[in-house]
Structure 1
Amino acid sequence: MSKAFRPVLLIGPLMLFLAAAYVVPFLGVMQWSFTLPEPGVQNYVNAATDPLVVSVFLRTFRICLIVTALSVAGAYLITYLWIRGSAPVRLFAELCILIPFWISVLTRAFGWVALLSNRGVINTWLMQAGIITEPLTLVRNEFGVVLGMVHFLIPFAVFPIASSMRNIDERVLLAARGMGATPARTFWQIYLPMTMPGVLGAATLTFVFSLGFFITPAILGGGRSVMAAELIYLRIFQSPDWGLGAAISVVMMVIVGLLLALLMRFARPGAMLK
């Protein structure tokens, strides 16, 4: 057997498994979107014109953009401390990155409910301290959803940024300092542009992840900040409107595919620094 076919044989079972686990179910969902309750493209027309669906899409993209910006900003700071801080600072940053992976998303969501609810820890402390007289509404709204999603996504945004930071040639930074650049100017004009591929990768990764969030918005939003994944669940399991739910699923998959294509096209150091 030719050596050229050996990699194909090794990766073939994995590709078959992925096709059976993802491609086949997705094709079934796509079929639903064109056939239920009757053949045609009416489900996609409804997805584009139904005020409820459109409002959910707009809310989803708005929340995802806010979450992406906050997650990448927080991840950049943590990563900077992790890569360039002193030994104790690096250890603390590493714990902040790794510990969230040990806790399930469901546990974290209910933990935020315990902290932010009207009778939660934060409102209780503020009222006992006399800072407020009535509980603040911190959950069952977009604020709680954004906070819970940012908490979940920051660790995922760290690793693409860390990869870019580790690839920076220290001699470039030393040359800038040697030519009289201040630390702030070195950061904004040298360090930050050189880490932009990682920032773009982290932003795309967190945005794609946030598009499919279900548990966190359902628990912290309390049904008042419905996002696309929750709407799909409601259409398929509670309405039931399988055709429209499937159409929304296909639209979200297309959006995710386009974002990943953009990531593969532009999130390269050579392309970003030209």
Structure 2
Amino acid sequence: MAPLLLFLFFAYAVPFFGVARWSVTLPEPGVGQYQALVLDPLVQSVFLRTFRICLFVTIAAVAAAYLIAFVLVRGTPLQRLAVEFCVLVPFWISVLTRAFGWVALLSNRGLLNSWGQQLGILSEPLALVRNEFGVVVGMTHFLIPFAVFPLASAMRNLDERVLLAAQGLGASRSRIFWSIFVPMTLPGIIGAALIVFVFALGFFVTPAILGGGRSVMVAELVYLRIFQSPDWGLGSAISVTLVVLVGVLMAALWRFIRPRELAG
């Protein structure tokens, strides 16, 4: 493990300490950049937008992943094969390609709007990109596979005898699902939600392309502060705050969810 730990230290820890030093030394020593982070209305609005988008993405991705994982674990062999194919194939496609694919589908001249107008369903194109809706769609599509695996692991670890006992006592399939199956998979749901939320916090490419500069999130704001304006101190403070927030969420994941339950 030593070579890997050394690599991670020099590749991630050392640069992070340098960014943390910038946050308290640029443009002058002190914690003024962290005060600006709290008091600046622009930064506050970006953080609120980021949390709002991440919440919507987490709910949508976990809900879709739960249905997919259910079929993956309890479906027929053919259904399982189809689901595995649909879950694994997106990992072979870059995030940039996926983002531009959604632009081709959702833009004003994209496939959905063109087909809707040709069929007479739409009188004018719907605004499906360059807004939060497009960002949520693109991020949800990317993060669903990451939520499937912990949910499928939680479902595989269920004690089938409990479900059979409920069925033997006369419980309906819907009652078994909502009263027994879902509560028993709650650790997987919480773990998947935390994983998706943590990934969503640091998204950059998808919001930049599908948001079109109108739905700036925290990662894009850091890029703008570092590369397109001389405000390196504030950009570094935002970066440090984001890393600390992700660390707190990961600590919560390890504190409340057993890693063995996520890994199966």
Q: Does the pair score TM above 0.5?
A: yes
Aligned to 1:199: 189
How much does 1:270 deviate? 10
Aligned to 1:15: 5
Under a length normalisation based on structure 1, what TM-score does the superposition of the two structures give? 0.93
Aligned to 2:239: 249
Q: How many residues align?
A: 261
Aligned to 1:136: 126
How do 1:73-112 and structure 2 match up within 5 A? 73-112=63-102
The unaligned stretches of length 5 or more in structure 2 are none
User: Is 1:184 the equivalent of 2:193?
Assistant: no
Q: Which amino acid is the alignment partner of residue 151 of structure 2? A: I
Q: Residue 108 of structure 2: SS of its match in structure 1?
A: coil
Q: Residue 75 of structure 1: SS of its match in structure 2?
A: helix
User: Is 1:229 the equivalent of 2:219?
Assistant: yes
Give, in whole Å, the separation in 2 of the partners of 1:114 and 1:189: 42
How much does 1:149 deviate? 0.1
The unaligned stretches of length 5 or more in structure 1 are 1-10
* CA displacement 1:34-63 (0-9 Å, x = unmatched): 000000000000111100000000000000
Q: Residue 60 of structure 1: SS of its match in structure 2?
A: helix
Give, in whole Å, the separation in 2 of the partners of 1:161 and 1:240: 44
Q: Which amino acid is the alignment partner of residue 76 of structure 1? A: Y
Give, in whole Å, the separation in 1 of the partners of 2:192 and 2:258: 12
Give me the identity figure in percent. 69
User: Is 1:214 the equivalent of 2:197?
Assistant: no
Checking the alignment, whether the CA contact within 8 Å between 1:197 and 1:269 is kept in structure 2 is no
Give, in whole Å, the separation in 2 of the partners of 1:220 and 1:138: 9
User: Is 1:30 the equivalent of 2:20?
Assistant: yes
How much does 1:269 deviate? 9.0
User: Is 1:267 the equivalent of 2:257?
Assistant: yes
How do 1:41-190 and structure 2 match up within 5 A? 41-190=31-180
* CA displacement 1:92-135 (0-9 Å, x = unmatched): 11111111111100000000000011111000000001111111
Under a length normalisation based on structure 2, what TM-score does the superposition of the two structures give? 0.97
